[in-house]
Structure 1
């Protein structure tokens, strides 16, 4: 199939031809309507003029008979214009009038008739069209009264010619315009097709071209580019998860296998076997917990979950979660303070938001105490959880007095399986902050890590609910299932 055939078979070119046909038909109808109304008007004026002429001549004939009629016709024939007169005797000889000769067929006619006549013109004789009424007078005389209507025939010829030329020019420009538009559109579609082929071959960095015109193709390309960027991000996340699983879960699986293998080969007694089995169960529970956290993060990043959003008071939810972690904090010698100042309402999934808050508090308790072995930082071990409304956002702030996170690592620790050297002494999978970040994105919010001087300050920022919902929202009781990762 040639490029020209492809071009002619495009939807744009077909639409151009359709619009051209419709516009051409509309133009023909409009021109015909104008011509028809013009013809009707000219015909009516023609008949009125001839009737007036006949009425005047009839009065002359009544007053002075044939002699007066001939004299009047002779006088009127001298006046320049489009009026035509002819008076003939019984033999057909002209007695008066400005018609030099007429056919016998016209003399034998009665009533209105359309005919052609000849008259002198520059360069010779010209034939023109006329309309007249033919009357028979006593004594075999004939009277012809008419008007020259050659201009009307010329008008019809001009309109017909203009219509044909107009349709021809319209077709030329329409087909040419359709060709240019279709070629431009086809070029853009070819560019899009080329980009999609590179993407299908595995290059997810390809993007659809945008020429900056802001038309519907640009808007479609921009939307598809956003989708491709999201797909690239998800695929990168999938590769990262696969790599993390391959590296971070390989060690506990090998440890589990080695422990079981050692228990089988050594002549241990029942207490040793029981201890090996208990350690194996602990390792398996940790692996299951890690896989569950990975699945939760994957579902959240894919947009799943969060279907049970409701209006809830973040301050009340923070107090409920903090109460669950007070015994854990006391056991570690850390003071846990939950200091919500006033009710702050958001629209969120209670279970997901509760788990995110639990992960933040759990991380702060695990890693937020000053390192006594290295002399600490002069601060008492303390974890504080507060909530506040800041403009259109509701912020949940968790602070500690631990070693903190270097500014260069604050974005990195939000990823999966990322654990800094200072945190490897505590059990964990490195998925807690990643889950919090996924919950924040699902609810249209963000997570920020800041310096608490000393310690770490984590801010979970979510869009606050509107004023109408804030005034009418009822307090919701606790009930979130908390499983820190």
Structure 2
């Protein structure tokens, strides 16, 4: 397919031709309607003028006979203008008027009639169009009263010529404009197609070009770029999960296998074998929990979770989860203070939000007091509260522990990331990855702040409208981070 054929087959060029044809038809109809109405109006006025003049001449004829009629017609014929007169005897001999000769057809006519007559002109004789009313008098005499309407014919010729030239220019401009617009659009489409082929070849970093004009192609490109960014994010998450499974789960599986081999090498001892099996089951349960956490994160990031959304009181949900952790906090010797506050109504998945809140509190209880005084001279304490603002709700979990170094806060949200200070506590490093995924699913985000001392974790969620199930979450403000489990 040649470039010109490809251009002519574009939808834009076809639409341009269609609009050109429709506009041309509309223009022709409009001009024809105006011309037709103008002609009808002029003809009506001409008929009325000639009829009025005939009535006046008829009165003159009745009052003074043929001689007076001839005298009046002779006088009027001397007046310059488009008026035409003729009074002739039965043989066609002119008695008065400015029509020197008439055709047999005009002589035999009766009433209104159009005809062509000749009159002297510079350089010769010219033929002109006229309209007249033929009136027969007693004795075979004829009275003809008319008007020169050559100007009407010239007007019709001018309108016809102008219309043809106008249509020609309109067609030229329309086809040229269609060609130019189609070429511009085709250039952009070819650019989009080239980028799309690059993406189909496996380069998910490619993005559709945006011209900045804000037209429909720009809006389409922006939407597709958001979709591509989301796909790239999901693919990166998939690769990350695969890498995490390959690397981070290899150690516990090897440990599990070594423990079983060690039990098999030991002499037959039912107590030792039972203990080895119990530890193996415990290790297997931990692996199952890790796999379940990875699956939950993948489902959340793919937007395949959160179907059971309902209107709920976030403050009450936070209070209920905090109440469940009070025995754990008491056992660890940590003060757990919950301030639910006034009811905050949002639309979300109760189970996912409850799990996210539980992870935040569990993290604070685990890592908020790694030493007896939190490592900073303050008594161990975890504070859980909710806040409501215009269009958003916040869940705040703050502790008095050692916190997370500022240099590590960009890294700790990744899967299986655990800081050295937290390796003494059980965990897989997936808790806050799950919390961040829940936040994104609900259109919110997770933010880390310094609690001076300790760490303050803020989960912010929208309260107006339904959260996007598979949309891009609001970008967190500067300093938004997460902490590990």
Q: Provide TM-score, normalisation by structure 2.
A: 0.91
Provide the aligned C-alpha RMSD in A. 2.1
Counterpart in 1 of 2:60?
A: 60
In the alignment, is residue 453 of structure 1 matched against residue 455 of structure 2? no
Does the alignment pair 1:444 with 2:428?
no
For 1:113 and 1:388, the matched residues in 2 are separated by 95
2:353 alignment counterpart? 353
Distance 1:104 1:325, change over 3 A: closer
Please give the per-residue CA displacement for 1:209-255, whole angstroms capped at 9, x wherever unaligned.
11111111112211211121121112111111111111111111122
- Report the 3-state secondary structure (helix = DSSP H, G, I; strand = E; otherwise coil) of the residue aligned with 2:29: helix
Unaligned runs of 5+ in 1: 467-483
TM superposition shift of 1:116: 0.7
1:10–1:318 CA distance, 2 compared to 1 (3 A):
same
CA contact (8 A) 2:118 2:128 kept: yes
- SS of the residue 1:172 aligns to: helix
Matches of 2:376 and 2:75 in 1, distance apart? 131
1:335-414 correspondence to structure 2 within 5 Å? 335-371=335-371, 376-414=375-413
1:105/1:456 Cα in 2 relative to 1: closer, same or farther (>3 Å)? closer
Q: How far 1:183 moved relative to its partner? A: 0.8
Q: 1:145 to 1:319 in 2, by over 3 A?
A: closer
When residues 319 and 45 of structure 1 are mapped into structure 2, their CA distance, relative to the original with a 3 A threshold, is: closer
Shift of residue 362, structure 1, vs aligned partner: 1.2
Which residue of structure 1 lines up, in the alignment, with residue 476 of structure 2?
none
Question: C-alpha distance in 1, partners of 2:383/2:97?
Answer: 121
3-state SS in 2 of match to 1:413: coil
SS at match of 2:412: helix
Is residue 368–residue 374 contact of structure 2 (8 Å, CA) maintained in 1? no
- The CA deviation at 1:128 is 0.2
List structure 1 runs of 4+ shifted beyond 6 angstroms: none
Whole-angstrom distance in 2 between the partners of 1:252 and 1:402: 29
Query: How many aligned positions are there?
Result: 467
Residues 98 and 341 (structure 1), Cα distance of their counterparts in 2 relative to 1, 3 Å cut: closer
String of CA shifts for 1:16-54, please: whole Å, max 9, x gaps: 111111111111111111111111111111111111221
Match of 1:434 in 2: 433
The Cα offsets for residues 179-235 of structure 1, whole Å up to 9 and x where unpaired, read as: 111111111111111111111111111111111111111122112111211211121
Provide the residue aligned with 2:200 in structure 1: 200
* 1:320 corresponds to 2:331: no
> 1:403 and 1:62 mapped to 2: Cα distance?
129
Name the residue aligned to 1:84.
84
| CA shift for structure 1 position 341 | 4.3
Q: Could you tell me how far 1:465 is from its partner in structure 2?
A: 6.4
Q: Does the 8 A contact of 1:345 with 1:465 survive in 2?
A: no
Contact 2:374–2:400 (Cα < 8 Å) also in 1: no
The equivalences for 1:6-155 within 5 A come to: 6-155=6-155
1:37-86 CA distance string (max 9 Å, x none):
11111111111111122112212221222222222221111111111112
The TM-score normalised by the length of structure 1 is 0.91
Change (3 A) 1:300 1:138: same
SS at 2:143 equivalent: strand
